[in-house]
Amino acid sequence: MRRTTIVLFTLILAQSATAQISHWQLGGSGLSWSENDTTRLFVDFATAPGAIQPTYFTLDETVFSHIDNWAFWRDPSDRIFDYLDGETPRMWKWNNGVPDPSENGSWLIDGDPLTYNPPMADLVEKESFTMDLAVAVPAVAFGFISPSEGFRVDGTPLETDFVPAFQVTASVAPEPPVLEGNVNPLSTLIADVDNNFTPQIRFDFNRQYLRFFRYRRIISILDEDAQAKISKITFSLIGTISEFQLFAQGIPQRSIYKTK
């Protein structure tokens, strides 16, 4: 069996002002590329029929909408069949420093505001979700939204169920918090909010290539008040997330396509 691997790299060419950019593509006629691939990441099959090119990200769609081969598991140090670092996007949750498979991560990046994980009893400040895109993208904004319908057990509409305090960090490469498997923040701070009342969150920042994104729930005054009223260490956390959203402008550092 022969396997063909095509990696499309982002190239920056420093040339004279009179240099011209020529059009290029891979492929032509015959079978569709997308019918034969076994591994693909940020490859555009639609713009030029019969050919492939790197995905060009715009603000009209989230980066997550371009990924359909996520890997989900409880511990990033696990060895998963067919997982390849730098080729397979992955997502995992940690709770109180322990891998936690109790939530369906796919519901948080599927683009559907109706899917979500119901509020559950957790230890505040120890819950984190980490998303590894496998390759870096030219990110410009990160956020999350609440479900568009539904209610908490106390009657609170989920669409108004804001997360009162949280932190979002990112990095372009694997860092100790990822390699060592803990909930510590990554090196690039995107948001550190301790007093939020908005269910729709978005933070814009200067465009930069980033691969890892980590959301961490942190404790707020509202959490402390709720905890004091019920006199329990764990309680149903305030705030429900339906979707994480990442936006980028431009092309990824790499696009990958593999065939048998």
Domains of the chain: 58-252 (2.60.120.260)
pLDDT recorded at residue 25: 53
pLDDT recorded at residue 9: 53
Q: Is 86 left (phi over 0), alpha (psi -120 to 50) or beta?
A: left
Q: Which residue has the tokens 């959203």?
A: 245
pLDDT recorded at residue 28: 55
Per-residue tokens: 147: 């479900």
pLDDT recorded at residue 232: 56
pLDDT recorded at residue 17: 38
pLDDT recorded at residue 249: 98
pLDDT recorded at residue 125: 60
**Do residues 84 and 5 lie in contact, with contact meaning Cβ atoms separated by under 8 Å?**
no
pTM of the model: 0.82
Q: What sign for the dihedral angle of Cα 69, 74, 79, 84?
A: positive
Burial class from Cβ neighbours inside 10 Å (0-12, 13-18, 19+) for residue 62 reads: buried
pLDDT recorded at residue 222: 80
pLDDT recorded at residue 18: 41
Residues of the chain with pLDDT under 70: 1-38, 73-82, 95-104, 119-126, 224, 226-236, 260
